[in-house]
Chain A
C-alpha cells in the first residue's frame, strides 16, 4: 500500500502559488530579433529573492524568415556587467548557458538556476559555476534573415 502511494506521490505537478516575473526587452514584455541583430530580455532586480532559485522560461515566435539564433543565459550584480550563468559550454540550453534555436525550435525552453554550483534534475546532475545574481537576462544573438519575437519570464522559488 505504501509503495502504491509512493508511486503516485513522486514529483507531483501542482499549480504553483509563485509568480512569474516578466523579463523586459525593447517592449514591456517582448523584444524582436531582426536578421543578425541581437536583443536582450532582462529581469528586474531580484534582490529580495535570497534563495536564489529561479526558472527562466523563454518563448519564441516566428514572424517572418527563419528564426535562428542563440539564446544565452546571463547574470549580473549591477545590471551592466554580465557573465554566463553556468559557465558550461554547449548549445542545448537547460544544462548549459547557450540554447541554439533553429527554425523557431524549440518554441519554448527553460533554464533552472540553483546557487551552489549545480544544475539538477531527478536523475542527472551537472556541476556548474552557477551562483546567485541580482539580475538575469537572455541575450539573443540572431543569424540569417528573420523577424522573431522573443519573450521570457523568470520564476523565483
Chain B
C-alpha cells in the first residue's frame, strides 16, 4: 500500500519539508471523511533488504569425450 502524507511541515531553520505519513492508527482526511488507514507497509523509512550479489557457481568446462 502506498504511504500517504497526512501532514506537511516546513522547517524554517533547515529549509526542509517534513512529512508526517500515515501509520496503523493514523487517519486520512479525504472529501470531508476521516478514514482509517490500515497500511500494510507500516514504516515508510524501512528499506528493502540490501541486495547482495549472488555468486553463480562456476561451471566447469565440459570434458570432451574422447573419440
Contact = CB atoms under 8 A, between A and B. Distances in A.
Interface string B4-40: 0111111010011111111111110111111000010
Given A6-B23, A13-B20, A15-B16, A116 B30 contact: yes
Contacts, number: 104
A20 B20 contact: no
A147 to B, nearest CB: 20
Contacts of A55: 7-10
A57 B20 contact: no
Interface in A95-122: 108, 110, 112, 114-122
A11 B6 contact: yes
- Bin the interface of chain B by size: 20 to 34
Contact of A120 (B12, B25, B29): B29
Contact of A57 (B10, B21, B25, B42): B10
Interface string A39-83: 000000000000001010101000000000000000000000000
- Bin the interface of chain A by size: 35 or more
Interface string A106-147: 001010101111111110010100000000000000000000
B45 A12 contact: yes
A120 B34 CA distance: 8
A11 B25 CA distance: 8
A122 B6 contact: yes
Given A16-B17, A127-B32, A155-B17, A110 B25 contact: no
Contacts of B22: 11
B23 A9 contact: yes
Given A13-B20, A20-B15, A122-B27, 20 more contacts: A10-B26, A11-B21, A11-B23, A11-B25, A12-B21, A14-B45, A15-B16, A15-B17, A17-B19, A18-B17, A20-B17, A53-B5, A57-B9, A108-B12, A116-B29, A116-B33, A118-B32, A119-B29, A127-B32, A155-B17
Interface of B: 5-10, 12, 15-27, 29-34, 39, 42-45
